[in-house]
Amino acid sequence: MSDDTILNLQGLTKAYGKAIALDNIDLTIRRGEFLTFLGPSGSGKTTTLNLIAGFIEATSGTMDLNGEALEKLRAHERNLGVVFQHYALFPHMTVRENIAYPLKQRKVPKAERVESVDRVLRMVRLEQYASRYPKQLSGGQQQRVALARAVVYRPPILLMDEPLGALDKKLREWLQVELRRIHRELGSTFIYVTHDQEEALALSDRIAVFNEGQIEQIGTAQELYNEPGTLFVGRFIGESSIFEGEVNDGVFSAGGMRFPCSSKVPSGPAALLVRPEHFSVSATEPCTLAPELTNHIEGDVIDMVFVGATIKYTLKTSIGEAIAHVPAVGTMEHGIGDRVTIGWSPSDGKVFATG
Ligand code: ADP
Ligand code: MG
């Protein structure tokens, strides 16, 4: 295990009878990183987190924390911080008592306890709320107390399962910024679960994309966006246009049209994925597309929206809908109902076998 690895999962599997919740995953978590598990509901994210936390037992596989076999330790012996969406605070204890609880359990002396609680209260910006009870706090404040309680004993890893899931969008976005700051301040490893790709992009150093109990790909947001390894990842992260067709000798074809591509895909059924900023849009006559955009298809504008610096077009083509984001300045505008030509470079189309 290399020095910058904190946690290593090997062949981790969890079965419930015949149903496989987690299917033989391997995952190396780096010391100090903000790693997010992203995937649709039921893809195995919570199962993985619960295995690490020690709330459930693996069917097979190993978990290695700093060279120590994690599965031999009970949940409380693992000394990990945990914040879940509904991981209730103790209602009969004040904010200060809630946060001090894990320190009391660990028999930390009073003076040290007070100092540690003060430190994390400042970190989550709740100094003024120390003597309130949970029911006197908003949902966002309660989650900040839960976060403070989870990190007060300085666990090497903080596990969070959709901790912002119950909060409204504005509060969620503000707390995302706060979480980044707290991660920087603590310098510990964060493992975060969400099904929301925007949240994953906003928070993470790296993202592991889960699908049906397996990890499809792990990488930075940029890597997953620019070089999706599978159609699932391409579809799940960021916006894209996807056309169904087939590949023959390195050429993707759909609806009788041929589109050369640089992806190496065996002949057979396939899908072509193009990111919206890789499309250019021109009038059909005269076509003013840059010469390197050698793949062309005609379409009708069915929607156009100004998004500040760009215009977002929705276009109907004979092989499916296309979404194009083009710079708002320096390009001709096209209105709803206009017939246009859409162009892209063969190197910007990603083709995936679907057979
Ligand atoms: P996620 O957190 O990605 O939404 P989960 O890890 O909770 O997904 O669940 C993964 C799969 O395991 C799902 O199909 C779920 O129904 C199944 N599962 C989870 N917990 C149990 C359980 N206690 N008994 C049976 N099946 C379960
Ligand atoms: Mg879950």
Among protein residues, the one whose CA lies closest to atom 24 of ligand 1: 16
Q: Which pLDDT score, from 0 to 100, does residue 197 have? A: 94
What is the average per-residue pLDDT within 250-265?
Answer: 91
CB of 21 sitting under 6 A from ligand 1:
yes
**Alpha-carbon gap, residue 118 to 12, rounded angstroms:** 39
CB of 44 sitting under 6 A from ligand 1:
yes
Q: Is 120 helix (H, G, I), strand (E, B) or coil?
A: helix
Q: Which pLDDT score, from 0 to 100, does residue 84 have? A: 85
Ligand closest to the CA atom of residue 161: 2
Exposure class string for 325-347: b at 16+ Cβ within 10 A, else e: bbeeeeeeebeeebebbbbbbbe
Say if CB 44 and CB 20 are below 8 A apart: no
Residues 6+ apart with CB under 8 A from 108: 116, 153
Fold of 5-232: Rossmann fold (3.40.50)
Per-residue pLDDT at 210 exceeds 70: yes
What is the average per-residue pLDDT within 25-54?
Answer: 97
Which stretches of the chain are assigned E, i.e. beta strand? 5-16, 19-30, 34-38, 60-65, 68-69, 81-84, 157-161, 189-194, 206-211, 214-219, 241-248, 251-254, 257-260, 268-274, 280-283, 295-307, 310-317, 320-327, 339-344, 349-353
Quickly state the pLDDT bin for 330 (edges 50, 70, 90): confident
**Alpha-carbon gap, residue 320 to 274, rounded angstroms:** 12
What is the average per-residue pLDDT within 48-57?
Answer: 96
What is the average per-residue pLDDT within 108-126?
Answer: 94
Say if CB 176 and CB 200 are below 8 A apart: no
Q: Which pLDDT score, from 0 to 100, does residue 98 have? A: 97
**Alpha-carbon gap, residue 64 to 1, rounded angstroms:** 9
**Alpha-carbon gap, residue 106 to 217, rounded angstroms:** 39
Q: Which pLDDT score, from 0 to 100, does residue 355 have? A: 83
* 96 or 178, which is more confident: 96
* Domain covering 239-353: architecture: Beta Barrel (2.40)
Q: Where are the CATH 3.40.50.300 domain residues in the chain?
A: 5-232
CB of 37 sitting under 6 A from ligand 1:
no
Q: Where are the CATH 2.40.50.100 domain residues in the chain?
A: 239-353
Quickly state the pLDDT bin for 1 (edges 50, 70, 90): low
Quickly state the pLDDT bin for 170 (edges 50, 70, 90): confident
Say if CB 144 and CB 106 are below 8 A apart: no
Quickly state the pLDDT bin for 203 (edges 50, 70, 90): very high
Among protein residues, the one whose CA lies closest to atom 2 of ligand 1: 46
Q: Which pLDDT score, from 0 to 100, does residue 250 have? A: 84
Tell me the pLDDT tens digit for each residue of 80-114.
999 987 768 999 999 999 999 999 999 999 999 99
Give the residue among 140, 139, 119 at the shortest CA–CA distance from 130.
Answer: 119
CB of 43 sitting under 6 A from ligand 1:
yes
Q: Which pLDDT score, from 0 to 100, does residue 110 have? A: 95
User: What is the residue-averaged pLDDT of the chain?
Assistant: 94
Q: Which pLDDT score, from 0 to 100, does residue 2 have? A: 64
Quickly state the pLDDT bin for 248 (edges 50, 70, 90): very high
**CA Rg, the chain, in Å?**
25
CB of 90 sitting under 6 A from ligand 1:
no
Among protein residues, the one whose CA lies closest to atom 6 of ligand 1: 44
**Alpha-carbon gap, residue 112 to 120, rounded angstroms:** 13
- Positive or negative, the Cα torsion across 25, 26, 31, 36? negative
Tell me the pLDDT tens digit for each residue of 272-294.
999 999 999 999 988 899 999 99
What angle in degrees, to the nearest 10, is found between the helix axes of 110-123 and 95-105?
A: 130
HSE, side-chain direction, 13 A CA sphere, residue 244: 3
Q: Enter the pTM of the model.
A: 0.92
Point out the least confidently predicted range of 113-127, 165-179, 199-213. Answer: 165-179
Q: Which pLDDT score, from 0 to 100, does residue 118 have? A: 96
Q: Which pLDDT score, from 0 to 100, does residue 80 have? A: 95
Peptide bond into 286 cis (omega under 30): yes
